[in-house]
Structure 1
Amino acid sequence: MHRPSRRAFLRLGGVSAAGALGALVPAEVAYTPDDTFIRLRRRWLEVTAGPAARPYPELGRAAARYRDSMAPGRTSLWPDQRFPSFVATPRRLRTMAHAYALEGTGLTGDASLAAAVATGVDHYRRHVYAAGAEPAGNWWHWEIGVPKALLDAAVLIGPHLSERRSADLRDAVDHFVPARRFSDYSGTSTAANRVDLCVVLLLRAILGSDHGRAELAASALSPVFRLVSEGDGFYRDGSFIQHTHVPYQGAYGVTLLSGLATLFAVLRGSPWEVVDQNVFDMVERSFAPFVRDGACMDLVRGRGVGRRPFGDHEKGREIAAAILLLGESASAAERARWQALVKGWAARSTYRPTAFHARLSAVLADDAVPAAPEPSGHRLLPMSARAVHRRPGWCAALSMASYRIGHYEHGNGENLRGWHTGSGMLYWWAEGHGDQYSDSFWSTVDPYRLPGTTVSARRLPDGAGEGWGDTCPPGRWVGGATDGTYAIAGQHLNGLESTMEAFKSWIFLDDAIVCLGAGITGADGTPVETIVDNRRTAAALTSGPGWAHLEGHGGYVLRDGGLPRTSRERRTGGGAARDYVTLWLDHGLDPRAAGYVYLLLPGASQEATRARAADAGWVRVLANTARLQAVHVPSLGITAAGFWNAGSAGGLTASAPCAVLVRELAGGTATLTVSDPRCDLDELAVTWDRPIAALLDGDALLDGSTLRFGRLADQEGASKTVTVRLR
């Protein structure tokens, strides 16, 4: 791993650097930080600038271009970036500062470069980011984006920013980010935003050697570590929410994880060391489930999914980098697990950027670190209406909407046609298809035909519904039950700005997902469709009685013996053109109580697909109505039921709405898993018509063949599993 040299440390060390740099230090400098802040400056460089994301010579060349083209004027610092230029101008200054502070850039310690940074920071501060200016537009630029970049640059050039200019910058930051900003944990000062604000405050403290602000930067993090049951933050099930209604591990969550990892590392050993380690648990509970082969799944990336191709891989690398940095503050056991996890992601990734983060490069080069394989199992996160299912050779993920989770998020002109991503979108990846949703998928896919969804064909305007994720439908029964290997998930779906309603269930198994729909109705004067799949491919599609197969991808089996409708088209968008094969079920115009049953077989061959279609007894549909959906899979000993209301099916009777997953095991035992997706049950009784001899494990009362569960409402939709012995 590249680390800054002692000479670089001296450049950042205030008075102690003056002798080393000699004439490089401006004459007016009166820079006397105490030793604590000298060490923090050094640590800031080592942690944030040292492990560069691109080769150092390239960084130097970019900085030289920026220095040579800088032309301070009344309306710009660079002619191609007219003020306010909230993003580009501060980032260019930070790039120049990094080239100055790091070894091997070709501009290391270059006095003219540091002077240019100081001039640029002060010019931007006078013309845009001035104390007393009115913060027009997005608050984020004024409180986070701009000050973080300017302060970072100022800290990295050290004494080259005179005390007068430093004081003026500090005054500007204090104006837009006053200390009172941290007294209330609400609004735009929660979760990832709060971490970002604390980073800004710490940089402000380092620049001004301010003990009080350094203390506040550390202490103001405390609310971030608390688990929440509503609003922004981490939930007990591993969900992470930002903007109140949006699952966001893949954007705001990355920012939070990166920021916390940085603060842990920079403040370690200082008077303000961060000691709360709850975030360590979330690495494997909240982030890892949504990374597959190095890419962060789009169902937790909010409005950012369509920003650019392969953005899912870029976010995956950011998560990996943050995990490795956080590992430096974790226990040896956690650090070893995380390094193996990240190495496995990188080893399986098909995305090859031109440069690697230095920490990742070090792990990849270390033969003592094994590459962890892709795990197997099921993770259901009811508080964010998300599920991830992993089996050998394939993976699937489910995106739903509920009374607490929006259909989609749009804002700042982004993701204006993501309307139906919460309508049961079913992502899946088999071997060789890790980039299915990466390569210009969002700019070219038909937004009315997202895979797995049931939607009204009613045309919607761009940005339909409230912005920032406030598009929650009324449905409360959204979630399911899982024993950690298999699962049933369900969604009482209400269409976005539509009369369409449906009851959808998915049963996740070893080589298949059983997909059920019932009670599908609509009165929009338009057709309603269920999209069996929409693959970004030009592969050949073949079919037979009750089955279809997409070469190299997988198979589809319809239990009524029919065939889905299909289309093949080349779609364009965002400057790209991509091929799609779409399979869908047409429920007709304004349907009344329509339904469907089909099997998705990820990675299956044509022969396996045909055989599954011919095996009518492989799965038995016990019920598929707006009151109850249930199946039995004899070969696995599984019965799964989504009780939309109290009822009975397949020998199971539930006293109230719930999800139930029964799995009969060898040796005369069985597990019974239940959940309360509505989060409102004081008690639940589940009766199984099998004679039960004893309750072996789990929190329930056995009364004959009835298992009685206490207050499930407090479980936040989480599953409870009991083990019984059968007679």
Structure 2
Amino acid sequence: MGKEKCLLFLVVIWSMLASAQSNQPFDMIMQRVFDDEVVEVTSSRVPKVQQLAASLGVDGAWEDIPYERTDISSWPAGKHFDRLKPIIAAYVYNKSPLYGDAKLKSAIDKALSFWANHDFKSKNWWHNEIAMPKAIGVSLIMLHFGKEPVDGNLKSALIKKMERGDVYAKTGANKSDIAMHYFYRALLTSDEELLTSSLEQLYYPVQLVDGEEGLQHDYSYLQHGPQLYIAGYGEEFLKGISKIMFYVRNTTYAMPPDKVALFSGFLKNTYLPILRYGYIDFNVHGRGVSRPGILQKDDMKDVLERMIALDGKNKAIWNGVLQEIDKDSKYDFKFSPIHKHFWKADYTIHLRDNYHFNVRLASDRTNKSEAGNQENIYGKNMSDGVTNIQVYGDEYYDIMPLWEWDKIPGTTTRDYQEDQVLVEQWGKPAKNQFAGGVSDGHYGVSALKVDYDSVVANKAWFFFDDQVVCLGAGITSETKEPIVTTLNQTWLKGNVIINGRALSTKDEVFVEVNAGDRFMHNRIVYLFPEAGNVTLNAKEERGTWSKINRSRSADTVKGEVFKLWLNHGVRPQQATYAYIVYPGTNKVSEQELGTIRILQNTAAMQAVSHAILGRTQVVFYEPGVFAGDDWRIEVDRPCLLQLTTDEDGDVEVAVSDPLQLAENIQVSLTNQSYAVSEKKTIALPQGAEKGATVSVKIK
């Protein structure tokens, strides 16, 4: 071989190797997308796939899909790709009985051509700019591995339809979703520049932001303004980003380690602690609570399995949660105790081995729960001190069509004759400034000044190991409707026990309770430390999903509901309430009863102490002096305060600013038994940390 031919041969070889190396990341990443999206097709699935393909019209459309409709929520045209995906899977899955089937390929080509030749759109931008471009991308990537390629012109036409949505104009989960189909398009076109820019946008939301939409400095997640969305949009953030991380792992495109740690932190320290046996707190789902099946999170198994490969140092945690949400867990999973207040989101979680008790607040810094796209039509009180109490996890699963919506658990509201529509769309800030929590990671107190729908009330929750003390004061309204505070509204399971005796009939019962009276239902005890007027409703209720979400079924659903509330009467003036919840138990011992002391419950101040834990918790709604448990505590501004004493006589003071306005707070402490007489000026967190807890130790 001559020198010139040898050199030419080497140039060709080098060129081929360089080309193969440049394509290698695309091919490998595309293979991972395919492996993730394709489903196993067994012989049992063949008839269904063949039926779907056979029912496709000559023009490539399904006759029963009204493609021209523009519905906002359940857009009918979107079903086109829902039906097409299993047909594609049967064609491309190499162990499928229909692998490479010519009839399936003909049906796929017709269905794709039909979509390429039309421009169906919903009135909801999400379908047009997120759902459909992603569906097209996934379909084309799956077909890339088929026996016969898609016609080049058809492929180009469909890729052109993916060029929708401005990724640079969106935030949070919406940015991630649009960047996802940019990513698919880059793989399909082998466009390295587009792949790089799509990943930049996909990684961009993995950062802490201050009040903007996305992941906050307290590790909550906000979307649609400063609105709590740890599930819903936060969940889409977890699903989408984990997919991308998994696809590009161990390549030059892999997510930087600091962002992997941040992403894992949100999943590990925020999202997963809100799960209980695979069911999530309804408080964190926004308008999504009006969708059937939304609170069960079996689909999070995919995220956890990806994280085992992506974040091996937390493998035990990921495997542990997989075990927890397994249907055969028998409710024996061991939960670690957590208490955390999210000061950016106005939300508190309290987790113990035998229960969850979470509270959603609202303030003029955060948006109340939204209605939108004709969803969550009656959710007007979904942010006003709403409590989620779970022992088994499924206490509220799919109960929403049967709810009486002015008796959402935990709230103090007007008792209307009929459910009232939430007029404000997409979430509006609350009127009140005062909302916050103080926490040491295990215990704490949260409080809220409700000022909504012509009802004002000061509400507080004092969190310990075995009980949560719930206090209300200053309850005032001039409306014609009675004012009520709802302890719970959940599925009726088993007997209702009142002071040790089972309720004899399932109906509505009015009870004048005395101090010490208690109700027990489904391993939760509700104890009344003072006399009051209570109504119990334990009977079958009926409703429809379409009442609360116009795009859902109008078929009647029914079930038995447990509903318990306190009555404050018509036009109450400075009314109060007190009740103590003991979740995860069937009985309360006299010793447990003696550990709790309610020290104050007025519009100016609420205070509770726990003798065994050595904790005194105080809510100051205004500057003032607390005197109780041998302590005198004076503060110069509204605050939440927790005082902890130990056996050595050391004292720790934890405080937070529920108004998020002050730079410091002056606290004076006096206690002769502990030989304490201190006056301290405590600097409060600023910037993105406003509202967070700060602690000071005193010898």
Task: Pick the TM interval, shorter chain.
Answer: 0.7 to 0.9
2:459 corresponds in structure 1 to 504
2:614 corresponds in structure 1 to 637
Q: What amino acid maps onto 1:109 in structure 2?
A: G
Residue by residue over 1:349-408, the C-alpha shift from the partner in whole angstroms, topping out at 9 and shown as x without a partner, is: 579xxxxxxxxxxxxxxxxxxx96222121221222221212232221112222233332
1-structure distance, mates of 2:416, 2:192: 59
2:32 corresponds in structure 1 to 43
Residue by residue over 1:589-647, the C-alpha shift from the partner in whole angstroms, topping out at 9 and shown as x without a partner, is: 122111111111223434x27x479x5x5433222222211122223211001111111
1:169 corresponds in structure 2 to 158
What's the offset of the Cα at 1:588?
Answer: 1.4
1-structure distance, mates of 2:409, 2:135: 40
Alpha-carbon spacing, 1:115–1:595, altered in 2? closer, same or farther (3 Å): same
1:541 corresponds in structure 2 to 497
Residue by residue over 1:111-133, the C-alpha shift from the partner in whole angstroms, topping out at 9 and shown as x without a partner, is: 4323422321221121235xxxx
2-structure distance, mates of 1:257, 1:57: 34
What's the offset of the Cα at 1:462?
Answer: 5.6
Moved more, 339-348 or 578-587: 339-348
| SS state at 2:310 partner | coil
What's the offset of the Cα at 1:58?
Answer: 5.4
When normalised by structure 1's length, the TM-score is 0.82
Does the 8 A contact of 1:670 with 1:724 survive in 2? yes
Q: What amino acid maps onto 2:53 in structure 1?
A: R
2:439 corresponds in structure 1 to 482
Does the 8 A contact of 1:257 with 1:323 survive in 2? no
Q: Equivalent of 1:340, from 299, 316, 320?
A: 320
What's the offset of the Cα at 1:69?
Answer: 1.1
Do structure 1's residue 425 and structure 2's residue 380 form an aligned pair?
A: no
Q: Equivalent of 2:543, from 563, 573, 576?
A: 573
Q: What amino acid maps onto 1:404 in structure 2?
A: R
2-structure distance, mates of 1:182, 1:605: 52
What's the offset of the Cα at 1:235?
Answer: 0.9
Does the 8 A contact of 1:620 with 1:632 survive in 2? yes
Alpha-carbon spacing, 1:549–1:521, altered in 2? closer, same or farther (3 Å): same
Alpha-carbon spacing, 1:591–1:463, altered in 2? closer, same or farther (3 Å): same
Q: Note the 1:454-603 alignment, pairs <5 A.
A: 454-458=412-416, 463-468=421-426, 470-495=427-452, 498-537=453-492, 539-543=495-499, 545-546=514-515, 547-574=517-544, 575-603=556-584
2-structure distance, mates of 1:554, 1:271: 53
Alpha-carbon spacing, 1:500–1:612, altered in 2? closer, same or farther (3 Å): farther
Do structure 1's residue 444 and structure 2's residue 392 form an aligned pair?
A: no
Q: Equivalent of 2:680, from 707, 722, 726?
A: 707
Do structure 1's residue 108 and structure 2's residue 94 form an aligned pair?
A: no
1-structure distance, mates of 2:636, 2:673: 18
| SS state at 1:225 partner | coil
Alpha-carbon spacing, 1:58–1:637, altered in 2? closer, same or farther (3 Å): farther
Does the 8 A contact of 1:545 with 1:563 survive in 2? no
Q: Note the 1:340-379 alignment, pairs <5 A.
A: 340-346=320-326, 373-379=334-340
2-structure distance, mates of 1:641, 1:238: 26
Q: What amino acid maps onto 1:41 in structure 2?
A: M
Q: Note the 1:191-202 alignment, pairs <5 A.
A: 191-202=172-183
1:390 corresponds in structure 2 to 351
1:355 corresponds in structure 2 to none
Alpha-carbon spacing, 1:416–1:681, altered in 2? closer, same or farther (3 Å): same
1:267 corresponds in structure 2 to 248
1-structure distance, mates of 2:329, 2:55: 38
Moved more, 332-341 or 673-682: 332-341
2-structure distance, mates of 1:626, 1:462: 28
What's the offset of the Cα at 1:507?
Answer: 0.3
Does the 8 A contact of 2:684 with 2:694 survive in 1? no
| SS state at 1:712 partner | coil
1:434 corresponds in structure 2 to 393
What's the offset of the Cα at 1:264?
Answer: 1.1
1-structure distance, mates of 2:327, 2:58: 46
1-structure distance, mates of 2:281, 2:46: 34
1:14 corresponds in structure 2 to none
Please give the root-mean-square deviation of Cα atoms over the aligned residues, in Å: 2.6
Does the 8 A contact of 1:451 with 1:531 survive in 2? yes
2-structure distance, mates of 1:642, 1:95: 57
2:188 corresponds in structure 1 to 207
2-structure distance, mates of 1:286, 1:58: 40
Q: Note the 1:133-172 alignment, pairs <5 A.
A: 135=121, 137-158=123-144, 160-172=149-161
2-structure distance, mates of 1:462, 1:529: 15
Q: Note the 1:80-99 alignment, pairs <5 A.
A: 80-84=64-68, 85-99=76-90
| SS state at 1:581 partner | strand
Do structure 1's residue 284 and structure 2's residue 268 form an aligned pair?
A: yes
Alpha-carbon spacing, 1:391–1:38, altered in 2? closer, same or farther (3 Å): closer
Q: Equivalent of 2:234, from 228, 253, 257?
A: 253
Residue by residue over 1:175-205, the C-alpha shift from the partner in whole angstroms, topping out at 9 and shown as x without a partner, is: x23xxx2333xxxx11111111111001111
What's the offset of the Cα at 1:291?
Answer: 0.8
Does the 8 A contact of 2:379 with 2:422 survive in 1? no
When normalised by structure 2's length, the TM-score is 0.85
**Which runs of no fewer than 5 residues in structure 2 stay unpaired?**
1-21, 69-75, 500-512, 545-555
Do structure 1's residue 667 and structure 2's residue 666 form an aligned pair?
A: no
2-structure distance, mates of 1:214, 1:473: 42
| SS state at 2:77 partner | coil
Does the 8 A contact of 2:492 with 2:562 survive in 1? yes
Q: What amino acid maps onto 1:477 in structure 2?
A: F
2-structure distance, mates of 1:287, 1:320: 13
Q: Equivalent of 2:692, from 692, 715, 718?
A: 718
Alpha-carbon spacing, 1:444–1:105, altered in 2? closer, same or farther (3 Å): farther
Aligned length: 635
1-structure distance, mates of 2:155, 2:115: 13
| SS state at 2:526 partner | strand
1-structure distance, mates of 2:477, 2:287: 28
Does the 8 A contact of 2:639 with 2:656 survive in 1? yes
What's the offset of the Cα at 1:422?
Answer: 1.2
Moved more, 142-151 or 566-575: 566-575
Residue by residue over 1:244-269, the C-alpha shift from the partner in whole angstroms, topping out at 9 and shown as x without a partner, is: 14322222222111111111121234
What's the offset of the Cα at 1:219?
Answer: 1.2
**Which runs of no fewer than 5 residues in structure 1 stay unpaired?**
1-32, 130-134, 352-370, 695-702
What's the offset of the Cα at 1:551?
Answer: 4.3
Does the 8 A contact of 1:240 with 1:286 survive in 2? no
Moved more, 208-217 or 104-113: 104-113
1:237 corresponds in structure 2 to 218
What's the offset of the Cα at 1:56?
Answer: 4.7
1-structure distance, mates of 2:433, 2:681: 23
Moved more, 581-590 or 553-562: 553-562
2-structure distance, mates of 1:99, 1:595: 64
Does the 8 A contact of 2:41 with 2:93 survive in 1? no
Q: What amino acid maps onto 2:432 in structure 1?
A: G
